Every structure is written in C-alpha cells, then in structure tokens.
C-alpha cells in the first residue's frame, strides 16, 4: 500500500444556504480544496452524501460534481453510509490512491438539506435507521438516540446537566471558527432551559442540520512538499447491527471500539498519543459513548471527562475543537469531511484561538446511524 497524504483542503460555511444550490455549495468546497492543493485536475472524485437523492432529487453525485468542477471525463463516484458518508468517501479514496490505480483524488462531503420542511428532513434522516424494524414503529432518529441516552442515565446515574460540558465546549470553540453554523456561547443554565426535542435530548444536546461541504485533495505522500506534511496514518471502518435493539449492549459503540483499535494499531499509537479528537457529537450522548469506546474513558464515565475539564483546548483530550457537530453544524453527509479538514487545520497549526499547541496526531471519528457504521481515521503531521 502506498502511503497517502493530504495536498489541499477546502470548506464552506455551514448555514441555511437558500441562495445557493447543491451544485454551488459542493463546487465551492471542491474548488477551494483544489486551489489549496495547487492542482487543476485530479484522477478521481469521491463524493460523500446521504440525502441528495431524497431531498434534492439528485443521484449520481460523483458525475454531477465532476461535471460542475471541471473534472469532466474523470472517474467519479458517490459513497453513502448515512451520517458516516463523508469519512466513508475519504476511506474509499485512500484505498484507490493506495492501490496505485489512482494518483490523485478529490474527496467531497456535501449536503444541502434546509430547503425542505422539518418534517420531510426528519423522515429523510430516518433512512439511517432500520426501515422495517425501527422506523416502521414510528420512531424518529432523534427518538432512538433519546432511548439510548435515557438508558445511559439510568445505568450510570448521571443527571441531564452532566452532559452540558460537551455542548458548552463545542459552542465555545465554534466562536473562533468562521465556517461554523452557530456562533453563540452557552452556559449550563441555557443548556438546562433549552426546548425539549425527545426526552431527555433537548435542543442543546442535539446538533443542528445545515447546508455545507468540505473537501480534500489526497495524493501519494511522496508528492507532498508542503511542511508540515499531513499524512494518513490509519484508516479503519467497522459496523454494528443496523437496529439498536439488536445489540446485546446498546450503550457500547462496538464499531467505534473496533475501528479505533485497528486505527491505533495501524498508526502505532495509543489514546494518550492523540492530540486532537474530532468526535461525532450528533447528540451529547454520542460524545460520551465515543470517548468510552475509543479508549479515553471507562464504561459509563465519558461524561466525567467533560465535568473534569479535560475536553477543552488545553485539556487532556481536546474534542470538537472547531465546534463539533453541535456548533459547527451537521450537514449529515458532509460532516465526516469537515472533521477531517479540521484535523488537518490543527496539524497545520491554522486554528488560531482554538489551536491545540504542538498538535501532531489527530483523530476523526465519523458515525453513520446510531453507531451502525463507524470510521476512525488518524492523521499525522510530519515536519
């Protein structure tokens, strides 16, 4: 396998972009990445997207964007793993470049989901769950996560406000990220008084959807001259049952455990070596479960990392350094690529007030469904 490195990155601000089409949003991020990489062409395009077929009436996004950004005739494909689509596209691109069949690839995570009414989007998001055995019973995607959170609180004795630090940290970090959807500091009081969505998940436990795109150009590592050079040290994916009720233990993210374990082995590192961790805080409960399954906390103790001030920029394991899903925003199929782009920004030292000093090893973990598909990537900066 050839070693792969990141040649360029690009992203758009996450927002309700009613003035821009799916084409334009994805194109903006793709062209920004190619400009940052200093290339006008790549061999192949990998697009991560979850909802365009339902919400925008557009399938075949690989070719759709290849056409739009001037990659006509090049190979192009779309990858979908629900909210894990972004990282899944990144992994497919890595294997293509690693195999030697493709010498350069553009990876684009993109989603435009705010043109439709909330009810439609809720139904579209439910396609991440099991249509026959979960959705058919009338439960929404938030509802499934609410059941998991409620069970976690019951099993381990945590109160709702114990989850506040995840949301407060994400919102604080997003203040310094111009691409973030929300720029609003919050407090424990605000967190507790926020509107309920599906008990016990309230509005400040849940990430906001949005329109956005993030992209990267990747190439064989020996083609990157830029210092520091950011390389892919590990790429791993694993799955769990599609329905949460099929799991022996719904409070353990088996696929996060398996994919992070493999990623640590591939990169030759341990959790203590990770300087930045962009985790998938679609809901605050998922932040806790992700930290536990990835080796940063004991079972049932993920929330303690927040309460003990260990997840901030100067902490033991800084998470959501650019705002996370919670405050940067969660344009579902694009999220995995935002996480990876943000890790690159940290490893390049481009994060200003939320820069983690001397960050050398960064991890991104992207989740599709309620823990059903989980991809873990570790990037390293080399000077």
User: Which active-site residues does the annotation give?
Assistant: 83, 330
CA atoms within 13 A of residue 294's CA, in its CB half-sphere:
38
Q: Are 169 and 327 in contact (CB under 8 A)?
A: no
**Other Cβ atoms closer than 10 A to 197:** 18
Q: How far is the CB of 45 from a second copy (least distance, A)?
A: 8
Residue closer to a second copy (CB basis): 49 or 345: 49
Residue closer to a second copy (CB basis): 194 or 239: 239
Q: Is 240 in the site for a second copy (CB under 8 A)?
A: yes
Q: How far is the CB of 339 from a second copy (least distance, A)?
A: 17
Long-range contacts of 17-24 (CB under 8 A, 24+ apart): 17/112, 17/114, 17/211, 17/212, 18/114, 18/115, 20/112, 20/211, 21/112, 22/52, 22/56, 22/58, 22/110, 22/112, 23/64, 23/65, 23/68
Q: How far is the CB of 167 from a second copy (least distance, A)?
A: 26
Residues 36-95 that bind a second copy (CB under 8 A): 44, 50-51, 53-54, 56-64, 66-67, 71-82, 84, 88, 91-92, 95
DSSP code, position 59: -
Q: How far is the CB of 13 from a second copy (least distance, A)?
A: 22
Return the structure tokens found at 191: 């967190």
Q: Is 250 in the site for a second copy (CB under 8 A)?
A: no
Which position has the token pair 């390389």?
231
Residue closer to a second copy (CB basis): 72 or 154: 72
Per-residue string for binding with a second copy, 362-381, x by CB under 8 A?
Answer: ------xx--xx--------
Rounded Cα–Cα distance for residues 33 and 366 (Å): 20
Q: Is 28 in the site for a second copy (CB under 8 A)?
A: no
Rounded Cα–Cα distance for residues 295 and 142 (Å): 26
Residue closer to a second copy (CB basis): 127 or 194: 127
Per-residue string for binding with a second copy, 269-308, x by CB under 8 A?
Answer: ----------------------------------------
Q: Is 235 in the site for a second copy (CB under 8 A)?
A: yes
Which are the contacts of 249, defined by CB distance < 8 A and separation ≥ 6?
Answer: none
Q: Rule CB under 8 A: which residues touch a second copy? A: 1, 21, 23, 44, 50-51, 53-54, 56-64, 66-67, 71-82, 84, 88, 91-92, 95-96, 98-102, 126-128, 130-132, 135, 235-243, 246, 254-255, 258, 368-369, 372-373
């Amino acid at each position: 396998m050839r070693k792969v490195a990141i040649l360029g990155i690009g992203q758009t601000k996450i927002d309700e972009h009613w003035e821009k089409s799916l084409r334009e949003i994805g194109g903006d991020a793709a062209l920004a990445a190619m400009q940052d990489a200093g290339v006008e062409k790549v061999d192949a395009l990998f697009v991560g997207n979850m909802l365009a077929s339902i919400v925008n009436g557009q399938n075949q996004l690989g070719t759709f964007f290849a056409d739009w950004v001037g990659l006509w005739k090049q190979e192009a494909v779309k990858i979908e793993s629900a909210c894990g689509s972004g990282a899944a596209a990144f992994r497919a691109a890595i294997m293509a470049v690693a195999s030697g069949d493709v010498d350069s690839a553009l990876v684009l995570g993109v989603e435009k989901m705010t043109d439709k009414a909330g009810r439609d989007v809720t139904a579209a998001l439910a396609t991440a769950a099991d249509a026959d055995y979960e959705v058919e019973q009338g439960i929404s995607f938030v509802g499934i996560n609410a059941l998991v959170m409620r069970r976690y609180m019951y099993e381990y004795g945590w109160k709702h406000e114990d989850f506040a630090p995840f949301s407060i940290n994400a919102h604080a970090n997003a203040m310094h990220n111009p691409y973030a959807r929300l720029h609003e500091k919050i407090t424990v009081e605000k967190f507790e008084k926020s509107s309920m969505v599906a008990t016990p998940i309230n509005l400040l436990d849940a990430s906001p959807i949005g329109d956005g795109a993030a992209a990267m150009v990747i190439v064989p590592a020996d083609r990157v001259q830029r210092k520091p050079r950011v390389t892919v040290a590990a790429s791993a994916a694993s799955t769990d049952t599609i329905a949460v009720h099929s799991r022996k233990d719904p409070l353990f993210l088996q696929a996060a455990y398996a994919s992070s374990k493999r990623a640590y082995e591939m990169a030759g590192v341990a959790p203590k070596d990770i300087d930045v961790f962009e985790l998938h805080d679609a809901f605050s409960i998922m932040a806790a479960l992700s930290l536990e399954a990835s080796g940063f906390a004991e079972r049932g103790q993920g929330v303690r990392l927040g309460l003990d001030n260990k997840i901030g920029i100067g902490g033991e394991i800084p998470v959501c350094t650019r705002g996370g899903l919670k405050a940067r925003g969660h344009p579902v199929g694009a999220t995995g690529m935002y996480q990876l782009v943000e890790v690159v920004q940290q490893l390049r030292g481009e994060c200003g007030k939320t820069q983690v000093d001397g960050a050398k090893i960064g991890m991104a973990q992207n989740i599709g469904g309620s823990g059903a598909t989980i991809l873990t990537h570790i990037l390293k900066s080399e000077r």
